[in-house]
Amino acid sequence: MNRDAAQLHAEHEALIQFLYLAPIGLVQADIDGAISMLNPIAAQLLMPLSRDGGLDNLFQALESVAPDLRNLCARYGHASGKVCDGLHVHLNAGGAGRRIPQILSVTLLKLDAGRLMAVIGDITEQVRRERQLRQSDAWLNAILAGITDYALAGLDAQGRIVDWNASIGRVTGFGADAAGQPYSIFYPDDAMTPEHLLDRLREADDNGWTLDEGRRRRADGSYFWGSAMIAPLPDRDPLPGHEAAGAAYCLILRDISDKREASERRRRETFGDYLTGLANRRAFFEAAEQELARSRAAPRPTAVIVIDADHFKAINDRHGHPGGDAVLQHLAAILGDTFRAVDVVARIGGEEFAVLLPSTDLARAAVVAERLRAAVASQPARFDGARIGYTVSAGVAAASDGALGVDVLLKHADQALYAAKRAGRNRVERWRPELAPAATEAGPFDAA
């Protein structure tokens, strides 16, 4: 018996040693998140999130970057299993002195009624490689798929169509009057800014080509699902002042409507929020990183709005989680109606939403945020035969040239949101420097 106990003790010690030496972060916690064990890698990854230098609770440690994790666990109805698998968590977004955002993968396992196990890893490089592979796949698909339905056009150095040919008419219905127009005529009106038009050309110069996919517009105002690839021409005139004389880029526009369903499904699975259908936190951060990088290359303002449903806990307490979900879906629909196609509208937390507004300054963003606030206040949600009136508070921040990282821009918007909460809710506040000290007294959603 003593021999068995000694062997069991030795096996236990070997297991503990394995857990501590494992090349990935491991955390054991109770069902409320209280941490009972974590290995050194987990501590290293989670410590930057700790406000007080301690790591006592898993949910509290991740609250600022994965605020819905506690709710996901509470709603998980099985006795054991995966609460979430490979959840992407952005620790930062390339702030001052850091160009590459750090991204963690979090898998949460429910071991039994009282215990959780979290598996945490740094997947920053993996995500970067996945983005490169997605671009390569898009390029190969454009080449290898039968391109019978394509429009081919030459673009000058400013993105204007140099000449018209029959392929443009076949795919889009535009005639010879397309010549001289910017290639954005093939996009919905609110899907591209003048700055974005030039961004695509710069990206083609840097990478050899650039490709995007989405809704495209025909001459009669109807839409189709298309891909647009731009590549620089090798024999363009390199002399300054002569770029507009002829074609500097080649545009290939393809109608891929038959592939839209599969493409949209992949996009929703990776970048969509399961409840609202909006972009998720991962999609927001990736879009914001790209937009601020563009702003550094070609200065223009970029704004962020953070929106929070007021007294949301009271809504959940009165109508239950299904009622709360109905309110979030209602708010998501109003958000979709309020903002442009070029804006990125995302759910980044439980009742927390964020909007990225390219080429938009602080004043213009505040006007749109106020329009949203008024629309929500005047349109109650409906659930189970009842009308649920609610309001939102919003914080607005902006950067003029991409100098701020997404983490700083979001922090400023959070501080403005907290000021709106303190001032009575159902209001919009713009960030200003004097808000920063007050906002450090509590998190922006402590008063939600």
Instruction: Tell me the backbone φ, ψ of residue 68, rounded to 5 degrees.
Output: -95, 0
pLDDT > 50? residue 448: no
Residues 97 and 245 both lie in one domain: no
Whether residue 361 lies inside any domain: the answer is yes
Q: Please check whether residue 351 lies inside any domain of the structure.
A: yes
Residues 174 and 118 in one domain: no
- Does 266 or 76 have the greater pLDDT score? 76
Task: Identify which has the larger pLDDT, 203 or 89.
Answer: 203
The 3-state secondary structure of 237-284, one letter per residue: CCCCCCHHHCCCEEEEEEECHHHHHHHHHHHHHHHECCCCCCECHHHH
Same domain, 235 and 286: no
What integer is the mean pLDDT of 275-283? 89
Closest CA to 183 of 166, 204, 167, 198: 198
Assess whether 280 and 428 both reside in one domain.
yes
Return the bridge partners of 54, or none.
Answer: none
Q: What is the CATH number of the domain that holds 178?
A: 3.30.450.20
Q: Which helix H or strand E contains 215, and what residues bound it?
A: strand 210-217
Residues 208 and 287 in one domain: no
Per-residue confidence (pLDDT) for residue 263, from 0 to 100: 66
Evaluate whether residue 281 is within a structural domain: yes
How far is Cα 214 from Cα 223, in angstroms, rounded to an integer?
Answer: 10
The amino acid at residue 247 is: A
Number of domains in the chain: 3
Q: Is residue 54 part of a domain?
A: yes
Decide: 121 and 88 in contact? Cβ < 8 Å: no
What's the CATH number where 290 sits?
3.30.70.270
Q: Is residue 175 part of a domain?
A: yes
pLDDT attached to residue 149: 62
pLDDT, residue 233, reads 83
Q: Report helix, strand or coil for 423.
A: coil
The verdict on 106 and 159 lying in the same domain is no
Average pLDDT over residues 48-69: 80
Name the band, by pLDDT with cuts 50, 70 and 90, for residue 187: very high
> Taking the alpha carbons of 158, 162, 167, 168 in that order, is the dihedral positive or negative?
positive
33/207 Cα distance (integer angstroms): 45
- Using one digit for the tens of pLDDT, what is the confidence trace for 322-353? 999 999 999 999 999 999 999 999 998 889 99
Is residue 445 situated within a structural domain? no
Tens-digit pLDDT profile for residues 431-445? 999 887 643 344 443
Give the mean pLDDT of 56-62. 88
357 domain-assigned: yes
Q: Distance between CA 427 and CA 421 in Å, rounded?
A: 8
Q: What's the confidence (pLDDT) of residue 131? A: 64
Backbone torsion region of residue 425, taken as left when φ is above 0, otherwise alpha when ψ lies between -120 and 50, otherwise beta: left
343 & 245 share domain: no
Domain shared by 152 and 178, yes or no: yes
Q: Under 8 Å CB-to-CB from 201, ≥6 apart: which residues?
A: 155, 157, 159, 230, 249
Q: 297 and 246, same structural domain?
A: no
Residue in this structure with the two tokens 């209280």, named with its chain if needed: 34
Same domain, 119 and 150: no
Domain end, chosen from 90, 108, 123, is at 123
Task: Find the domain containing 177 and state its range.
Answer: 146-255
What does the buried/exposed string (b/e) look like for 387-399 if buried means 16 or more CB atoms within 10 Å of the residue's CB? ebebebbbbbbbb
Q: State pLDDT tens for residues 227-272.
A: 898 988 876 554 444 444 567 898 988 888 877 776 667 666 667 8
Residues 301 and 214 reside in one and the same domain: no
How many beta carbons lie within 10 A of that of residue 197, not counting itself? 17
pLDDT value at position 100? Answer: 55
Q: What is residue 442's predicted lDDT score, i.e. its pLDDT?
A: 42
308 and 409 housed in the same domain: yes
Mean pLDDT for 47-73 is 81
Contact 107, 63 (CB under 8 A): no
Per-residue model confidence (pLDDT) at position 384: 87
User: Is residue 27 in a domain?
Assistant: yes
Dihedral over Cα of 380, 274, 359, 435: its sign: positive
Give the separation between CA 213 and CA 253, rounded to whole angstroms.
10
Residue 142 neighbours by CB under 8 Å, 6+ apart: 211, 227, 229, 252, 254
